[in-house]
């Protein structure tokens, strides 16, 4: 009797262990906090997969650059040591150079224009290019339009940009633009930014309101200039190793989950676009917004870089983006 019970218990334990072992762990790393638009998207993504495929996958989140900077995480995606990430467009052009076209300043009119382009053939064709470099791009997410913060003073003209030490992403499109505006762009991985601002190693940085608010940049920055100089998409990426191990039905679940993550991320951005400025004012930031005449002056200062962008990415592609309705 005792032997039978022992064997039965062993069988149950073996089945439980087997079920647990069958689960695939997905490590998902991202640069911002769990309560950011990245965190909201990660949660929506994970919940959708867990609901559709119960007991098949487990998730370990590494927010706040817990797996390193964005470049390191993307390299982990390529190697298969990281399964998933939600990442800004800033470093993507280092892996798929053509993706840098979406970082061209003043290319998109508004959020609706940007979303239409990314969700349409142009954006979807760009996603497919990531399969050629050891990763699989599921969907374009969003951060919003990037704005300038600094501790030197309000920026109302290109003259106010002269010599301003601005942290940029490791993105040649952004670097060339800020150089043309007279600033001193300083490429820097995100984990280094707040310490550099605290120590005065840089004067400022540029990011969408979604990042400025969620990262509490009001604690280390005095001035916010709403210039909307660049639309900033994000991307949901998984490793080719993970993707190749999924069957067709699982792949469909992951694609659907990515779509739900994008909806959650864009809802976050829509909300912070409405409330973020007041939140930052209440936190003590001084806010100014460029009018159309001031923005035109900035665009004119970027005439040289624009020629370079058209040569690099193709004038026809840029015109297709600009003319998308």
What's the pLDDT at 7? 43
Three-state secondary-structure class, residue 273: helix
User: Whole-angstrom Cα distance, residue 190 to residue 27?
Assistant: 20
Minimal CA–CA distance to 28: which of 43, 18, 7?
A: 43
pLDDT digits (tens, 9 = 90+) for 58-85: 999 999 999 999 999 999 999 999 999 9
| Segment (H or E) for 23 | none
**In whole angstroms, how far apart are CA 173 and each of 108, 179, 311?**
15, 10, 12
Structure tokens at 170: 């490791």
Minimal CA–CA distance to 43: which of 300, 236, 313?
A: 236
Residue 152: other Cβ atoms inside 10 A: 13
pLDDT mean over 16-31: 76
pLDDT digits (tens, 9 = 90+) for 28-68: 999 999 999 999 999 999 999 999 999 999 999 999 999 99
Confidence label for 312 from pLDDT (cuts 50, 70 and 90): very high
pLDDT at residue 13 is higher than 70: no
| Higher per-residue pLDDT: 6 or 193 | 193
What's the pLDDT at 11? 44
Residue percentage of the chain with pLDDT more than 90: 91
CATH class of the domain comprising 24-323: alpha beta
Q: How far is CA 189 from the centre of its chain?
A: 13
Confidence label for 17 from pLDDT (cuts 50, 70 and 90): very low
Name, in order, each residue with C-beta under 8 angstroms of 89's C-beta and a sequence gap of 6 or more.
99, 102, 103, 171, 232, 233, 234, 235
State phi, psi for 108 to the nearest 5 degrees: -105, 140
Confidence label for 297 from pLDDT (cuts 50, 70 and 90): very high
pLDDT mean over 196-208: 97
Q: Tokens 């647990």 identify what position?
A: 20
What's the pLDDT at 19? 44
Mean of the per-residue pLDDT values of the chain: 93
| Segment (H or E) for 222 | none
pTM: predicted TM-score of the whole model, two decimal places: 0.88
| Segment (H or E) for 284 | none
What's the pLDDT at 87? 96
Three-state secondary-structure class, residue 80: coil
pLDDT digits (tens, 9 = 90+) for 274-296: 999 999 999 999 999 999 999 99
Do the bridges between strand 204-208 and strand 184-187 make them parallel or antiparallel, or are there none, so unpaired? unpaired
What's the pLDDT at 321? 98
What's the pLDDT at 280? 97
Torsion of CA 84, 272, 196, 95, to 10 degrees: 30
User: Whole-angstrom Cα distance, residue 252 to residue 53?
Assistant: 11
Q: Tokens 């791009």 identify what position?
A: 137
pLDDT at residue 16 is higher than 90: no
pLDDT mean over 186-194: 94
Residue percentage of the chain with pLDDT more than 70: 94
pLDDT digits (tens, 9 = 90+) for 99-143: 999 999 999 999 999 999 999 999 999 999 999 999 999 999 999
């Amino acid at each position: 009797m005792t032997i039978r019970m022992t064997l039965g218990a062993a069988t149950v334990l073996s089945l439980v262990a087997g079920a647990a072992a069958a689960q695939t762990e997905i490590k998902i790393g991202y640069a911002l906090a769990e309560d950011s638009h990245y965190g909201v998207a990660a949660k929506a993504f994970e919940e959708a997969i867990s609901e559709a495929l119960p007991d098949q996958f487990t998730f370990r989140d590494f927010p706040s650059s817990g797996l390193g900077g964005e470049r390191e995480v993307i390299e982990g995606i390529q190697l298969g040591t990281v399964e998933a990430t939600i990442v800004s467009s800033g470093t993507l052009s280092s892996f798929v150079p053509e993706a840098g076209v979406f970082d061209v300043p003043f290319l998109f009119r508004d959020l609706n224009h940007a979303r239409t382009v990314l969700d349409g053939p142009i954006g979807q064709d760009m996603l497919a290019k990531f399969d050629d470099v050891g990763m699989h791009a599921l969907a374009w997410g969003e951060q919003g339009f990037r704005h300038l913060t600094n501790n030197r003073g309000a920026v109302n003209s290109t003259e106010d940009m002269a010599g301003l030490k601005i942290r940029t992403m490791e993105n040649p499109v952004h670097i060339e633009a800020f150089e043309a505006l007279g600033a001193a762009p300083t490429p820097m991985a995100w984990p280094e930014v707040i310490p550099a601002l605290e120590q005065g190693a840089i004067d400022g940085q540029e990011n969408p309101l979604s990042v400025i608010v969620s990262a509490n940049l009001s604690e280390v920055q005095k001035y916010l200039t709403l210039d909307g100089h660049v639309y900033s998409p994000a991307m949901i990426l998984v490793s080719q190793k993970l993707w190749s191990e999924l069957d067709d039905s699982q792949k469909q679940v992951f694609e659907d989950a990515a779509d739900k993550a994008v909806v959650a991320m864009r809802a976050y951005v829509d909300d912070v676009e409405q409330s973020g400025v007041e939140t930052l004012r209440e936190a003590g930031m001084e806010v100014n917004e460029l009018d159309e005449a001031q923005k035109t002056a900035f665009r004119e200062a970027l005439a040289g870089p624009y020629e370079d962008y058209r040569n690099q990415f193709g004038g026809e592609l840029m015109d297709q983006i600009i003319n998308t309705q």
